């Protein structure tokens, strides 16, 4: 089994991916700088189940540290990279666009340069459905024009895709760029809508809801996303952009209603106006991912939310065998 480097490996998606990679027998090198974007202890909690696994290596490195990153790739004989590390969130990117450009564009360039000089030639890059902007031609296809991002975050993810394609053309780094659609599940970042709503409903406290509730998202369970990433690692050839979503859309009002069903509690809603940078709709066309990866999301929203609720209620978490 090969050695996989996962940037942002202590984050939400990265920790779920790491667990699966270890179970499949891979060696995993996790690179994470434990930024204070949110409580670093949340990330430490993510990796507790496998921190002592003999095939797991945790390194506190910023992806912008190109020399250090290249040395890691060479020392651990890395065979492929999954690049998840990024500053996330549409609204914060509007407040601090320079940081997003620095980390998301500069950091991705650093990863690509490190791969180039270390001789690593396979990359899976986490892009975002936000690159589609307010495209009304749903479901969104990878061939759509994506030249009008509505936030700096979306712009940085589109720039990352373009850098990846450039490095494939120039340096032969084979890359699949995965446009991820609103990923949720246990361990989701605390400021994300579903985590925020779930905690407030359980606590019986009012929660801010932006807009009239008719905006809709393609909510995708994290283990379905992980399955798509794993398939991409196996299949990556050349350069491709692929949607990973559930191919189902749920309005904000429907989401809140489902959360009320799952928790058996009533949500206390504080309605606010729409926020700049938020789009009205996301909806993935996953035809291409089905064809190339055999990707087939299997988790319903109700199932996924139940699993999140169990995790919040401190359901036992089985550590990996060592």
Q: Evaluate if residue 319 carries a pLDDT over 60.
A: no
Residue 320's pLDDT is: 42
Rounded to whole angstroms, the Cα distance separating 171 from 237 reads 14
| 35 is a domain residue | yes
Per-residue pLDDT reduced to its tens digit, 171-205: 999 999 999 999 999 999 888 899 999 999 999 99
Q: Evaluate if residue 321 carries a pLDDT over 70.
A: no
Domain count, the chain: 1
Residue 41's pLDDT is: 78
For 239, list phi and psi in degrees, rounded to 5.
-130, 130
Give the number of other CB atoms < 10 A from CB of residue 22: 22
| 307 is a domain residue | yes
| 96 is a domain residue | yes
Asked about 36 being catalytic, the answer comes back as no
Please measure the distance between the N-terminal and C-terminal CA atoms of the chain and give it in whole angstroms.
16
| 318 is a domain residue | no
Mean pLDDT lowest among 108-112, 231-235, 271-275: 271-275
Residue 315's pLDDT is: 45
Determine the structural domain holding residue 259 and report its residue range: 3-312
Of the candidates 153, 176, 219, 221, the residue annotated as catalytic is 153
Residue 191's pLDDT is: 84
Angle, CA 188 vertex, CA 134 and CA 210 arms, to 5° = 40
| 322 is a domain residue | no
Per-residue pLDDT reduced to its tens digit, 43-79: 888 888 899 999 999 999 999 999 999 999 999 999 9
Name the burial class of residue 316, with classes exposed (0-12), middle (13-18) and buried (19+) by CB atoms within 10 angstroms of its CB.
exposed
**CA-based nearest residue to 226, from 62, 28, 73:** 28
Per-residue pLDDT reduced to its tens digit, 229-251: 999 999 999 999 999 999 999 99
| 319 is a domain residue | no
Report the run of H or E that residue 29 belongs to, with start and end. Answer: strand 27-31
| 168 is a domain residue | yes
């Amino acid at each position: 089994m090969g050695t996989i480097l996962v940037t942002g490996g202590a984050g939400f998606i990265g920790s779920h991916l790491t667990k699966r990679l270890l179970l499949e027998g891979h060696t995993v090198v996790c690179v994470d700088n434990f930024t204070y974007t949110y409580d670093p202890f949340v990330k430490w909690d993510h990796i507790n189940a496998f921190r002592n696994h003999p095939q797991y290596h945790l390194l506190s490195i910023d992806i912008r540290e190109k020399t250090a990153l290249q040395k890691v790739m060479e020392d651990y004989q890395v065979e492929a990279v999954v690049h998840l590390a990024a500053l996330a969130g549409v609204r914060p990117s509007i407040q601090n666009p320079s940081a997003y450009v620095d980390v998301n564009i500069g950091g991705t360039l650093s990863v690509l340069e490190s791969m180039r000089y270390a001789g690593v030639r396979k990359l899976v890059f986490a892009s975002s459905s936000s690159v589609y902007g307010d495209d009304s031609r749903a479901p969104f296809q990878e061939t759509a024009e994506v030249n009008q991002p509505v936030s700096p975050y979306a712009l940085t993810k589109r720039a990352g895709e373009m850098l990846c394609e450039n490095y494939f053309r120039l340096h032969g780094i084979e890359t699949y760029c995965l446009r991820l659609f609103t990923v949720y599940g246990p361990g989701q970042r605390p400021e994300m809508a579903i985590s925020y709503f779930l905690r407030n409903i359980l606590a019986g406290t009012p929660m801010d809801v932006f807009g009239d509730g008719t905006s809709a998202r393609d909510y995708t369970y994290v283990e379905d996303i992980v399955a798509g990433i794993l398939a991409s690692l196996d299949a990556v050839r050349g350069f491709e952009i692929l949607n990973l979503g559930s191919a189902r859309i749920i309005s904000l009002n429907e989401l809140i209603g489902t959360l009320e069903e799952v928790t058996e509690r009533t949500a206390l809603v504080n309605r606010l106006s729409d926020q700049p940078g938020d789009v009205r709709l996301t909806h993935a066309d996953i035809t291409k991912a089905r064809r190339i990866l055999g990707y087939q999301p299997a988790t319903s929203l109700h199932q996924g939310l139940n699993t999140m609720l169990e995790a919040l209620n401190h359901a036992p978490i089985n550590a990996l065998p060592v």
